[in-house]
Structure 1
Amino acid sequence: MPYPHLLAPLTLGSLRLPNHVVMLPMGTEMGTHEGLFTEREIAYYTARAAGGVGLVMTGIAAVSQDYEQINPGLCRVDTDDAIPGLTALAESIHAVGGRVSLQLTAGLGRNINVVDPDRAPISASDNPHYANPDVLCRPLEVEEIRTLVRRFGEAAARAAAAGIDAIDIHGHTGYIVDQFLTPAWNRRTDEYGGSVENRCRFAVEVIQAIKAAAPGLPVSFRLSVDHKFPGGRTTEESQRIAVILAEAGLDFILADDGSYEAMDYVFPPYYLGDGCMVPAAKALKEVVDIPVVACGNLDPDTAEKVLAAGDADIAGVGRGLIADPQWCAKLAEGRREDIRPCIRCNAMCVGNAFFALPLGCAVNAQVGFERERVLTPVETPRHVVVVGGGPAGLEAARVAGERGHRVDLYERDTRLGGVLRPAATPDFKKELHAMIGWWERQIARLPVTVHLGHEIAADSPELADADEIILATGSRPLVPASIPGIDGPNVVGVIDAHEGAPLGQRVVVAGGGLSGADLALELAQGGRDVTVVEAADEIARDLILINRMTLLRDLATAGVRLLTGHTVVAVDADGVQLRTADGEDVRVAADTVVTAFGVLPETTLADQLKAAGRTVRTVGDCVTPAKVGEAINAGYLAGAEV
């Protein structure tokens, strides 16, 4: 067996699980406005259970609204109204042979998203609200703490009555249980503050209340081992906490890092690399005897190595199971190469949640539509021509082929991938590159014929007998011809730079969007002297905040000079002439200037075919240049609709 540690059976308390993989708790935003489970959310979780994961762990469910107004839509189990939905969830997951754990929270405390003007947010002490520092939290009184402890027990009893298999306690990332554990936020002088034992008292009482209310259900706790901000909790302090929590009766513990102050560790982007929080699990393994779950960008190979090395007992996979619910089943079937990679972009999973939108996925358009977007074979196969082998075209061709259509895919380059190929050259974007190989393998088994180095024009005979034409012709670089010297011999386009065009030691990247910023980071990490010039007041402002936090930190570490609010006026053999918003002229010496001003949709073929009366579907950047996830999702829909 190629993954003997991951795929070996596992016992957690009273649960016998088929493997050592758990689906980490992640919010879905698929519930009702009142916070109850819906058929849509149940279908999402059930698909992961059917895919063979050992234990499905839900996103947070609030146990109380006694002292804090829970955000609309956040899952709630504070009344018996929750039991029917919980029962439906448990029955659905059990019907496919799975097991489910419900994650419980007392609330967000200083991190709550919406402050109620009629009552102050709560916390362990009078901490400033994270997003509104002028708002002070109200310290919970002792009787209120005890009420919350009872609420955990009541919620656990409801879960047990509904058939839920395990309970997880949300104790990380600076939410309210974590606020009690941490000296930075807990300055109490009563029995719930001071010593590490006192700061753990709330969490210990919660564990004991759950154990008493739901006997036989395994209980876990998710702990931030390193908060990753000055003054936050350190690994050594968390080791002491973990020992106390384990002694209170935990069956297993989830180890991660981060906080709202270091949110990129809560949802680690591709910049942080594989297994970025494994050290947290290893640290807890050193001090506790209960199983420890590792997390943080774990692909199957990294996860197997972590378990084989004894750095953790269980692999926690979150976004990887969003991208491919069959993650575990494919491993067990010896189909590692068929697992759809998670590209760690955070765009439609975490990004959607930030805007209270239902969970989605950049690479898997079926997420959140597990019931509706089922690919069924067509009764009458048609001939589908797809023009463009980038992400939108590849996905359209794959989906149309999955449905049984005969597909011809034409790509003018000699390689598939489109803009993904140059964009994925940095090592920190290797999962993005892996998507190209995934598509190649999937379409190789389908009625899809790939034609490389084959450009299609409006009068090409290849279009003559096409029943459906899907155009995914992408975009073209925007290079302002009004800038003197922009066509000089020392000027290189960002795509050519990514693909290995010769560059000097001193490089100016003209354009600070994601493409330019990622290239700057790659070049600086390779030893070059890099300056990024951006007319706007921010670098990579279209990037999700979490990813941007890491990018900016890495750019600073690599020594990249960022000149925002600067416009390129001219380029010459020795560098670039810039102008600030105030009209000041600035000169930057450079051996090479890389243009990364953005792109424009490539609509020529679409315009010609429409003018000739042909019906076409356009997807991806040739419609509106956007992020890769939007292109892939549009490609899926186009392929599913033909």
Structure 2
Amino acid sequence: MPTLTEPVVLAGAAAPSRVLFGPHVTNLARGRALADRSVAYYAERAAGGTGVLVTEIASVIADDWPYERAPLASECGPGWAAIADACRPYGTVVLGGLGHAGLQGSSAYSQRVLWAPSPVADVVTREQPAAMEQTQIDAVIAAFGAAAAAAVDAGLGGVELNAGADSLLRQFLSGLTNQRSDAYGTDRSRFLRDVIASVRAAVGPDRVLALRLSCDEDAPWAGLTPADAAQVVDAVAGHVDLLTVVRAGHYSSARYRPTARTAPGFNRDLCAAMRTAAAGRVPVVLQGSVVVPHAAQDALDDGVADLVEMTRAQIAEPRLVTLVRGGAAALVRPCVLCNQACQVRDVRNPAVSCVAEPRAGHETTESDPVGLDPVGLDAVARDVLVVGGGPAGLEAARVLALRGHRVRLAERSDRLGGLLRTAATGPGRERLGLLADWLAAECRRLGVRIELGTELTADEVAATEHVVLATGSRSRTPDRAAAWRTAMPSTPAMPSTVLAAEGAAVAADLAAGPWAGPAVDPGPRVIDVVEALAELPAGPVVVDDPIGGPVAVGLAERLADAGRDVHVVTPDPVLGARTPELAEVNFRLEALGVRRELRTRIVGVTPGAAVLEHVWTGDRRTVACAAVVDCGHRLPDETFAQVRAERAGDCVAPRTALEAILEGRRAALRFDHTPAPPVAMHVRRLRARKRAT
């Protein structure tokens, strides 16, 4: 059986490994053209050893403008050429992603009607498309050919056609969206076959023509099923050079790239079935949350696939293939499958990035601690104290040690990882612990002196010359609980328990809170909700979620799954507004009977109840509860507020692991006074690193 790092030949081109970096929205385009940030982003993954790289899907026709920075093939020529040049030294086979979003697009940017096989509105936008007539069909078929010709003229090794979760090509294949009575309806694969023929004529036999095909829409009443897809594969296998098997469609787009709640490698059986249908006529790629090298190798060993797509894994760890090839797979930075920063189709238009590797997508502005010269411009190794062993402190210590500094890390608790460890519990969140494990292991490997259970004084820290403070945050729950109690002055006591979502780290602080006076029951108890939910008092639970993030919905789901009566209070019009799997979260909570108190906030807590207020009308009502779980913002730890030092993470402002790791790295690099490299310098350094290895 082939190994993951072995070359593979596609249409005469030898890819250096059997790992594919697939197409995804990056928001790195300038207007609708791939430019400098895209070049640096892709070059980093090519330098890391990926065998086949597919650029962000470019619309083949101007009317298709699915999101603001969506590339347009007719404007991508210079960008494709620059990407090809930057990736050429590594032997990577670079393919231009081509597609058309059809009814899953948007008219917000083009101000043109959407085209689709039939007038079926999108389930997300509810926008009504127009059914394509033969003129439009012919135009799109020709546009695919023209876009493919432009890609190979720019120096790419070929193209990949998108017939995946959000594509016009899939919409023609599916009975959910193709209700035509003409030849393109009676033979639903005809449109795809005509596009493939157009593209093959444009690129010729010596360039790669790849196909990304949804082989199960998870809608068996009318959508594509594996049996349907097997027939499509049989029809096109001899006409394409690479086939990537994916899942999802009109009603199930979240299943294309789900969070960690879905087991990694979820498409194995589907991919194996399509490989059987292909009968050796085309190499087949496994896609579907494959983020661990040994899992990818298992797929090759078991005959599931010929190549493996590891897109999110390589966003988190660009060096993945090189590390595996060098026998250092243990050093691969883990992907936690959270979709927090790498799934960027939202109203903020963020650039693609990664919680574990926040430099991803920012290669032209963020310094690379691996690629720069050791210790920086002045070549002075310093003794640096890092206070705090959460993600910010661990990353700061790791990068400082990597740069040659002598590092001491003091953590006041008996474990490393901070709130990252606390958050790593419950369905789909366990993988966060892998990131904490990796950061801690890297610090130990690099010689960081780690001191657990070490409480430093302000004088000790102030007496140290070089310091990074990453002391994290403290609970705001005492303040909120006191406010809720005083808002109900006629109530002599507050027997309802007020809990901090991250409880354990702040239990001592909360136990002495100002509201801990006489009470009907033993008084407000604060426990670690994540680790000791069994200690909650019996009765209903109210989860207060002023943030709209994943913590509250995760806790609510866990409590409801354990049989608790749960209300979730949010000021937003939808629950979990900032979660990466909005629809599926609400579906699961609805099924569990969780009551959603939308556009609502808590204004008081009385014996056995929480007082809720509608944020628009001001109407108030009470909800019976034995406990209120506070999932609100925390406050910066101010233990060393008077100490002059570099600061990083939650002690600056409590946010997420992404900001903590990013700021920990920046704080470490400031000890070298190293400027951020422009893209040209970045590419030169990648090439120098390649020559050195």
With the length of structure 1 as denominator, give the TM-score of the two structures: 0.88
Q: Counterpart of 1:521 in structure 2: which amino acid?
A: E
1:498 aligned to 2:531?
yes
Match of 1:254 in 2: 244
Match of 2:508 in 1: none
Match of 2:557 in 1: 521
Q: Counterpart of 1:27 in structure 2: which amino acid?
A: V
Match of 2:664 in 1: 635
1:602 aligned to 2:602?
no
Match of 1:305 in 2: 298
Match of 2:175 in 1: 183
Indicate conservation of the 8 Å contact 1:50/1:97, yes or no: no
Q: Counterpart of 2:44 in structure 1: which amino acid?
A: A
1:45 positional shift: 0.6
Which of 136, 146, 154 lines up with 2:128 in the alignment? 136
Q: 1:449 to 1:228 in 2, by over 3 A?
A: same
Match of 1:381 in 2: 381
1:51 positional shift: 0.8
Aligned mates of 1:556, 1:288 — CA distance in 2: 41
SS of match in other structure, 2:178: coil
Match of 2:213 in 1: 223
Indicate conservation of the 8 Å contact 1:536/1:566, yes or no: yes
Relative to structure 2, which stretch is displaced further, 228-237 or 628-637? 228-237
Which of 202, 210, 217 lines up with 2:199 in the alignment? 210
1:601 positional shift: 1.5
1:239 aligned to 2:239?
no
Q: Counterpart of 1:208 in structure 2: which amino acid?
A: A
Aligned mates of 1:353, 1:566 — CA distance in 2: 25
Which of 327, 341, 349 lines up with 2:320 in the alignment? 327
Aligned mates of 1:386, 1:501 — CA distance in 2: 35
1:360 positional shift: 1.6
Match of 2:491 in 1: none
Indicate conservation of the 8 Å contact 1:514/1:540, yes or no: no
- Map of 1:40-51 to 2, 5 A cutoff? 40-51=37-48
Aligned mates of 2:194, 2:42 — CA distance in 1: 30
Question: What's the C-alpha RMSD, in Å, of the aligned pairs?
Answer: 2.8
Q: 1:160 to 1:146 in 2, by over 3 A?
A: same
Match of 1:292 in 2: 284
Which of 333, 357, 360 lines up with 1:364 in the alignment? 357
Match of 2:470 in 1: 471
SS of match in other structure, 2:53: strand
Q: Counterpart of 1:222 in structure 2: which amino acid?
A: R
1:18 positional shift: 3.1
Q: 1:244 to 1:505 in 2, by over 3 A?
A: farther
1:583 aligned to 2:648?
no
1:92 aligned to 2:128?
no
Aligned mates of 1:530, 1:339 — CA distance in 2: 42
Deviations 1:591-631 (A, max 9, x none): xx362342422332243x2xxxx422332222222222122
1:416 positional shift: 0.4
Which of 57, 60, 63 lines up with 1:60 in the alignment? 57
Q: Counterpart of 2:663 in structure 1: which amino acid?
A: A
- Map of 1:127-166 to 2, 5 A cutoff? 127-133=120-126, 135-166=127-158
Match of 1:510 in 2: 543
Indicate conservation of the 8 Å contact 1:491/1:595, yes or no: no
Aligned mates of 1:458, 1:540 — CA distance in 2: 42
Aligned mates of 1:535, 1:356 — CA distance in 2: 24
Indicate conservation of the 8 Å contact 1:529/1:560, yes or no: no
Deviations 1:105-136 (A, max 9, x none): 1x222122343685322111223255543x43
- Map of 1:540-551 to 2, 5 A cutoff? 541-544=576-579, 546-551=580-585
1:536 aligned to 2:571?
yes
Q: 1:4 to 1:348 in 2, by over 3 A?
A: same
SS of match in other structure, 2:658: helix
1:439 positional shift: 0.6
1:548 positional shift: 2.7
Aligned mates of 1:494, 1:514 — CA distance in 2: 20
SS of match in other structure, 1:305: helix
Indicate conservation of the 8 Å contact 2:393/2:468, yes or no: no
Aligned mates of 1:391, 1:594 — CA distance in 2: 28
Indicate conservation of the 8 Å contact 1:423/1:495, yes or no: no
SS of match in other structure, 1:429: coil
Q: 1:396 to 1:130 in 2, by over 3 A?
A: same
Aligned mates of 2:17, 2:61 — CA distance in 1: 34
Q: Counterpart of 2:423 in structure 1: which amino acid?
A: A
Match of 2:29 in 1: 31
Q: 1:499 to 1:319 in 2, by over 3 A?
A: farther
User: Which runs of 5 or more structure 1 residues have no equivalent in the other structure?
Assistant: none
Aligned mates of 2:91, 2:526 — CA distance in 1: 53
Relative to structure 2, which stretch is displaced further, 461-470 or 332-341? 461-470
1:363 positional shift: 1.5
Aligned mates of 1:269, 1:44 — CA distance in 2: 23
Aligned mates of 1:276, 1:568 — CA distance in 2: 44
1:380 positional shift: 1.7
Indicate conservation of the 8 Å contact 1:425/1:499, yes or no: no
- Percent identity, please: 27
Q: 1:294 to 1:32 in 2, by over 3 A?
A: same
Deviations 1:120-170 (A, max 9, x none): 22111223255543x432222213322222222222222222221131101
SS of match in other structure, 1:271: coil
1:103 aligned to 2:100?
no
SS of match in other structure, 1:357: coil
Match of 2:189 in 1: 200
Q: 1:354 to 1:597 in 2, by over 3 A?
A: closer
Indicate conservation of the 8 Å contact 1:27/1:353, yes or no: no
Aligned mates of 1:604, 1:370 — CA distance in 2: 33
Aligned mates of 2:266, 2:526 — CA distance in 1: 33
1:239 positional shift: 2.5
1:347 aligned to 2:340?
yes
1:4 positional shift: 6.0
Aligned mates of 2:567, 2:387 — CA distance in 1: 34
Match of 1:123 in 2: 116
Q: 1:504 to 1:152 in 2, by over 3 A?
A: same
Indicate conservation of the 8 Å contact 1:492/1:595, yes or no: no
SS of match in other structure, 1:227: coil
Match of 1:14 in 2: 12
1:113 aligned to 2:106?
yes
Q: 1:294 to 1:542 in 2, by over 3 A?
A: same
Indicate conservation of the 8 Å contact 1:477/1:597, yes or no: no
Aligned mates of 2:225, 2:395 — CA distance in 1: 44
Q: 1:503 to 1:585 in 2, by over 3 A?
A: closer
1:423 positional shift: 0.9
- Map of 1:269-284 to 2, 5 A cutoff? 269-284=259-274
SS of match in other structure, 1:272: coil
Indicate conservation of the 8 Å contact 1:9/1:16, yes or no: yes
User: Which runs of 5 or more structure 2 residues have no equivalent in the other structure?
Assistant: 486-493, 498-515, 672-693
Aligned mates of 1:494, 1:516 — CA distance in 2: 16
1:383 positional shift: 3.0
1:235 positional shift: 2.8
Indicate conservation of the 8 Å contact 1:387/1:472, yes or no: yes
1:55 positional shift: 0.8
